Amino acid sequence: MKMEKVDIEKQSPKKASRAPQSFEEAALDFENSKIIGLKLSRKIAWAVAAAALLISLLCVLALLVALFNHTDPQPVVYEKDSKTGSIIQMKTLKDTPLKSDEVTDKYWIATYIRHREGYDWHTVGTESEIVKLMSASDVGSEYMRTIQADTAPLNMLKDKGKIVVKIASITFVGEIAQVRFTKQRVNTSGENLDGSPEQSFIATLSYRFDNGAMTDQQRLSNPLGFKTMTYRVVDEVIK
């Protein structure tokens, strides 16, 4: 038996060899690599710039927060009492611990005292209606008897003068309010030309806020329904 000789070299696959690049191809590869590198550099630069911008914004935000939260120390203000000569420290709401509605209560108490104890010929009718609106029935009736007395300003001063009320202080003893105030007679121009002395008084009153039925006009004068339930006033003895 005759064996055929196999040409191994012909049957074995030859490894493909890369053809050498031409000058143009090499130049094109070089340009492509430069473009890729440039794009990568730009991406890195943009990333660095974005990070720097973010840090700057955070710094600005932190500075703004610090500025808004910063509070300068409040100056201490003093006032001299023209009557006694004593020095009184002026206080803000932050300086004085207050109950939830104390500021509102003091406002309406002071308003009631001014309406009740003051006097102006031209507004006495309106003032009396407001006082009755802000008083319990028996307190309002007692007030009407007081202003109609022979010695009341309505009959003594008439249209020749006014009574000016100044609130000195309002304090609370339990559910009772104590109000220190002064009254002074002035002429129709508000001047004390005859040397009328300033008189000091202490009013003691109990009160509540009654959300009862009122007309729109009454609600404009007394929106929260302030009511004085008891009222007493005495001269303040200054030693």
| 218 and 176 within one domain | yes
Residues 148 and 226 in one domain: yes
* pLDDT of 236 strictly over 70: yes
- Backbone φ/ψ region at 225: left (φ over 0), alpha (ψ -120 to 50), beta: left
Q: 182 and 100, same structural domain?
A: yes
Domain residues for 98? 92-235
**Does 123 lie in the same domain as 227?**
yes
**Distance separating alpha carbons of residues 200 and 202, to the nearest angstrom:** 7
- Give CA separation, 190 vs 42, 120, 187, in Å: 81, 10, 5
Q: In what order do the strands lie in the sheet with 199-209?
A: 119-120, 162-173, 176-186, 199-209, 226-235
Contact 187, 162 (CB under 8 A): yes
178-193 burial, b if ≥16 CB within 10 A, otherwise e?
ebbbbbebeeeeeeee
Q: What is the pLDDT of residue 1?
A: 47
pLDDT digits (tens, 9 = 90+) for 168-217: 999 998 889 999 999 999 998 888 867 888 999 999 999 999 888 888 88
Please give the mean pLDDT across all residues of the chain.
82
User: Do 115 and 134 contact (CB within 8 A), yes or no?
Assistant: yes
Residues 45, 114 share a domain: no
38 and 151 within one domain: no
d(CA 204, CA 170): 10
What is the band of 8 on the pLDDT scale with cuts at 50, 70, 90? Answer: very low
Residue 223 lies in a domain: yes
Ramachandran region of residue 190, left (φ > 0), alpha (ψ -120 to 50) or beta? Answer: left
DSSP character at residue 93: G
Q: What is the pLDDT of residues 35-48, one digit of tens each?
A: 777 777 778 878 88
Average pLDDT of span 75-102: 62
Q: Mark whether 63 and 98 lie in a shared domain.
A: no
Q: If you average pLDDT over residues 142-160, what whole number do you get? A: 94
Q: Which of 12-26, 158-172, 189-203 has the lowest mean pLDDT?
A: 12-26
**Same domain, residue pair 145 and 105:** yes
Number of domains in the chain: 2
Q: Is the pLDDT of residue 93 over 50?
A: no
pTM of the model: 0.61
**pLDDT, tens digit, for every residue of 76-88?**
666 665 556 667 6
Are 102 and 54 found together in one domain? no
